[in-house]
Homo-oligomer: A and B are copies of this chain.
Amino acid sequence: MPKVGMKPVRRAQLIEATLESVDQFGLQATTVSTISKIAGVSTGIISHYFGGKQELMEATVRFLLQSLNDELMIQLKIHGTSPVNRLEAIIDTNFSPFQTSEKGTKTWLAFWAQSMHDESLARLQRVNEHRLLSNLKYSLKEVIPKDKVEHTAQAIAALIDGLWLRGALNEKSINVEKASKICKDFIHKSIEYYQLKEPNNAQPPATQDR
């Protein structure tokens, strides 16, 4: 009997090869041929396991987003002991080594651009964006005035994405420390700012273990 249960193995292998190809050649120049060559398999295998190139692309995006989410869950479980810690965990996750690898950023940006004209990709992207905002708001509402939460969450999310974007362009990979510091500074300053400005409306001091 031939090898069974190859499906998950091959799918992972092909998704990995897709990331590699998009990193090396770009999304436009990524073809069934480049992917299968990197994976060391024949071209037919992609249609065999994914039905077609498009589905492989979507699976790859899903994988990227899932990884981001998984990492966040882990970080929150470890460090999520206070609102501020939770916020920092979110930042750390978004600038973790995997997420900010050259492979990760290039692919992420390529798919984001592609999603402008591909509804199935856009949907995935939106789900993820919504999740990031939710997580941010959940923690923010405990440390800043309620009417500033939405506004601030939007700003942090934009800051994260903007730093990724700039990192993708300028360097081989994002300068993680710098980017991380900019985001955390923004969070700390926002909290501090509202406490200084409106001490009476100040939130009860959040337990902060640092």
* A residues neighboring B (CB under 8 Å): 25-29, 106, 109-110, 112-118, 122, 125-126, 129, 151, 154-155, 157-163, 165-166, 168-170, 178-179, 181-182, 185-186, 189-190, 192-193, 196-197
Chain B residues whose CB sits within 8 angstroms of the CB of A154 once the complex forms: 166, 178, 182
Cβ-defined contact, A28 with B166, below 8 A: no
A126: B residues at CB distance < 8 A: 169-170
Contacts of A179 in B (CB 8 A): 158
Task: Give the Cβ gap from A124 to chain B, nearest Cβ, in Å.
Answer: 11
Nearest CB on B from A42, distance (A):
10
Chain A contact surface mostly: helix
- C-alpha gap A157/B106 in the complex (Å): 19
Would B112 and A169 count as touching, CB distance under 8 A? yes
Residues of B within 8 A of A25 (CB): 117
Closest CB-CB distance, A109 to chain B, in whole Å?
A: 5
In whole angstroms, how far apart are the Cα atoms of A179 and B159 in the complex? 12
Inter-chain CA distance A60–B196, complex, in Å, is 48
Question: Cβ of B166 and Cβ of A129 under 8 Å apart?
Answer: yes
Instruction: Determine whether the beta carbon of B116 is less than 8 Å from that of A110.
Output: yes
Q: Contact at A116–B122, with CB atoms within 8 Å?
A: no
| Given known A109-B113, A112-B109, A190-B189, contact A162–B158 (CB-CB < 8 A) | yes
Are the CB atoms of B162 and A157 closer together than 8 Å? yes
Q: Name 11 A/B residue pairs within 8 A (Cβ), A-sorted.
A: A26-B114, A26-B116, A116-B169, A129-B169, A151-B185, A158-B162, A158-B166, A159-B159, A160-B162, A192-B197, A196-B197
